[in-house]
Structure 1
Amino acid sequence: MSTEQHVAPRGAQEPELFENPGLEEHRGRLADTDPRAAKRNERIIALILLISALASIGAIVAYVAIPLDDTRESVRYSTLFLGLGLGVGMLGIGVAAIHWSKTLMSNVEYVEERHPQRSDDETRQVAGDMMRHGVEDSGIGRRPLLKGAAVGAVALAPLPYLVPFVGNLGGDWNTGAFRHTIWGETPEEFSGTLPDGTRARRLARDPDDTPIRASDVTIGSVFHVIPHGLNEEEHFYEEKAKAVVLMVRMDPDILKEPAEKADWSYNGIVAYSKICTHVGCPVALYEQQTHHLLCPCHQSTFDMTDQAKVVFGPAKRPLPQLPIAVDDEGYLVARADFDEPIGPSYWERLT
């Protein structure tokens, strides 16, 4: 079999491999020739936009009517109906726009040859005429029903995003919810007794809520921790979002503890808030060899051997430390709440 290929002489014109078939013959639609079909499609589009508008209103009603601070069910239902309203509202606008373009707008193909970036004045005039023709062809001027429905749906669609945002503004950042967590509460059934007789909240595994004995924590082990009994709290999601802790045991000789915090750890066991001090992402990637704790969102890195100080990344503050001890039954307990607000820095908590 010969592998010789034909090569055209330099300067010779290459033959065309394929004949340009041109554009297919335009096929008209029923709405192009039947006014009743066009009117029917107009009503369908208006109905879809109406559904979109009602869904947006429904999302706002769900946000206002369903409280977020009573039970887990209220959080679930609020999230469900708010999400459905947002989704249906935006989906309706998209579906209506597609149906509008496919049934009422021109479906004629236009071909424009490529030209230099700055076209001549005549071509620019033609392009402007084509754009005006497209606007006229859409029928927006002579279809007030569609115009009103489209404006209403588009105007209402952003409100489910804006209303929760504006509604959640405010509150006391410095002395309120961010400064205190459930670690400071010591109900008897979820607490242990320290040698001085005081009650202290027990540390438990997340999510099964099993209390943790100090003897079960080996060097190099990592525990995701919540306050014991947290699952029984009415405001479970809110309290857990603030109280989650990462606990690690290291060689006590490598810990750098100031004198005022010398009793905040127990035999090399230290516990720090899992909420990054940058923007609040969960800090849960522990590097056993370097003893660094990494935030997966923006790579802020904290040194667990040195009071969780920042060694890399955009975070500006160390992770708040939870002071721990062991009760009279050998369980790890929190001697007190965090001594500073958890979470990101904000305008009243910049350092």
Structure 2
Amino acid sequence: MTDVHDTHSDPHGGELAVAEPIPDPGLPDHQWRPTDVDPAKEKRAERQVAALFGLSAVSTVAFLVAYFTLDIGDNWHVIGGFGASTMALGLFLGLALLFIGVGIIHWARKLMADHEIVELRHPAKSSDEDREVAVQALNDGIAESGIGRRPLIRNSLLGAVGLLGLPAVVLLRDLGPLPGRKLYHTIWGSGTPNAPMRIVRDGIWTPILASDLEIGDLVNCQPDALHNPERYDIDPTEVEGVNLQIHKSKASLILLRMNPGDIKPGKDANGDSRANWTVNGIVAYSKICTHVGCPISLNERTTHHLLCPCHQSTFDLADSGKVVFGPAGRPLPQLPITVDDEGYLVAQSDFDEPVGPSFWERDYYER
């Protein structure tokens, strides 16, 4: 062995000195904290931690009060021009989280065990013995934290953290009202025998003659009521702004013409044949994928398959819109169509099932 004081030759000339090994510094003597040796200070620290958790709970309650009492449109403002509602909600929710964080830090610094430990590195997968030691160390840590013998801290922490779930619950209210049965109906059902709902081209709003479509043609469509509400005795304000976007999102339609002999008519919700739902090989389906609601229009002409670009769900438009590939769990809803006295394509009725993504209350029947 080479002595640590030996020297080695430098390839470029001269000598290189070998450094002295670093001595093991060891661990310094443990310094006891005032709360470790003085029961009175320990008790005071415990009350301080509980008080911080209590302040967090108070801040959460203040958040809830501000949410229900301050309107977004309040005319009075606070510093910086921020609205009272926005400032109050942000302030109290921030304080609720801050007090919990400060309380946990204070608990760790003043009351939890602070002995330094040294452990050797080990492979990524621990042995069974090491796992047992780790579980024991975890149990020891729980015991040393004092959570079992400090009910004041434990209960105040549980109360503060538990109350923090309430802001998340009340904020769900801002997502808007529950849809109820709105997903089961679209504006396609607003047509009448005297004015059946015409199918028009999306964007240009022109009606479609069945005779104008050739085999292989695919057309993106919307109901005529979105452009001519008076024709169907619909209040124009019902198809403006947000309402217009809602109607379009539910009523978006795809027309495809194929050889009539390729169509396999399925059954509707009542078990009746869909043979009269098409016009000379023209079929109509919802444009909204039944997986997560992406708009679809990628047509494979030779197979009559419609592909969703989001997750590759594939539907067979010649066979009642059934899923032939991908994560979608339900066929595309089909719209029954016919022609009016002028030869324009119209809807016979609304969809007989909800459009859009699947949801747990949605009924499904084999077709």
TM over 0.5: yes
1:50–1:153 contact (8 Å) kept in structure 2: no
| Alpha-carbon separation, structure 1, partners of 2:145 and 2:197 | 69
- The count of aligned residue pairs is 299
Distance 1:133 1:217, change over 3 A: farther
Q: 1:199 aligns with which of 192, 195, 205?
A: 195
1:69 aligns to what?
Answer: none
1:281 aligns to what?
Answer: 293
1:236 aligns to what?
Answer: 243
Matches within 5 A, 1:62-101: 94-101=97-104
Distance 1:300 1:288, change over 3 A: closer
1:225 aligns to what?
Answer: 222
Greater RCO between the two (CA within 8 Å, min separation 6)? 1
Kindly provide the amino acid, as one letter, of the partner of residue 117 in structure 2.
Answer: V
1:51 aligns to what?
Answer: 59
Give how far 1:134 is off: 1.9
Matched, 1:132 2:143: yes
| Alpha-carbon separation, structure 2, partners of 1:123 and 1:261 | 65
Give how far 1:272 is off: 0.7
Distance 1:257 1:50, change over 3 A: same
> What secondary structure does 1:150 align onto?
helix
Distance 1:264 1:139, change over 3 A: same
1:211–1:228 contact (8 Å) kept in structure 2: no
Matched, 1:319 2:332: yes
Q: What RMSD in Å do the two structures reach over aligned CA positions?
A: 5.9
1:294–1:300 contact (8 Å) kept in structure 2: yes
Give percent identity, aligned residues only.
Answer: 31
1:72 aligns to what?
Answer: none
Give how far 1:247 is off: 0.9
Give how far 1:135 is off: 3.1
> What secondary structure does 2:335 align onto?
coil
2:284–2:336 contact (8 Å) kept in structure 1: yes
| Alpha-carbon separation, structure 2, partners of 1:23 and 1:205 | 79
Q: Residue by residue, what CA displacement relative to the aligned partner does 1:22-58 show, whole Å, maximum 9, x if unpaired?
A: 77999999x999x999988876654444333444577
2:187–2:223 contact (8 Å) kept in structure 1: no
2:4 aligns to what?
Answer: none
> What secondary structure does 2:197 align onto?
strand
Q: Residue by residue, what CA displacement relative to the aligned partner does 1:170-220 show, whole Å, maximum 9, x if unpaired?
A: x7xxxx655543212138xxxxxxxxx8312233566x6x52332797855
Distance 1:28 1:321, change over 3 A: farther
Q: 1:306 aligns with which of 273, 294, 319?
A: 319
1:245 aligns to what?
Answer: 252
Matches within 5 A, 1:310-349: 310-313=323-326, 318-325=331-338, 332-342=345-355, 344=358, 349=364
| Alpha-carbon separation, structure 2, partners of 1:111 and 1:44 | 29
Q: Residue by residue, what CA displacement relative to the aligned partner does 1:235-290 show, whole Å, maximum 9, x if unpaired?
A: 9389638833331434446741549656644565432124555x663452524354
Q: 2:117 aligns with which of 105, 111, 114?
A: 111
Distance 1:263 1:178, change over 3 A: same
| Alpha-carbon separation, structure 2, partners of 1:221 and 1:28 | 80
TM-score by length of 1: 0.55
| Alpha-carbon separation, structure 1, partners of 2:292 and 2:223 | 17
Q: 1:185 aligns with which of 174, 182, 190?
A: 190
Matched, 1:153 2:163: yes
Larger-gyration structure (1/2): 2
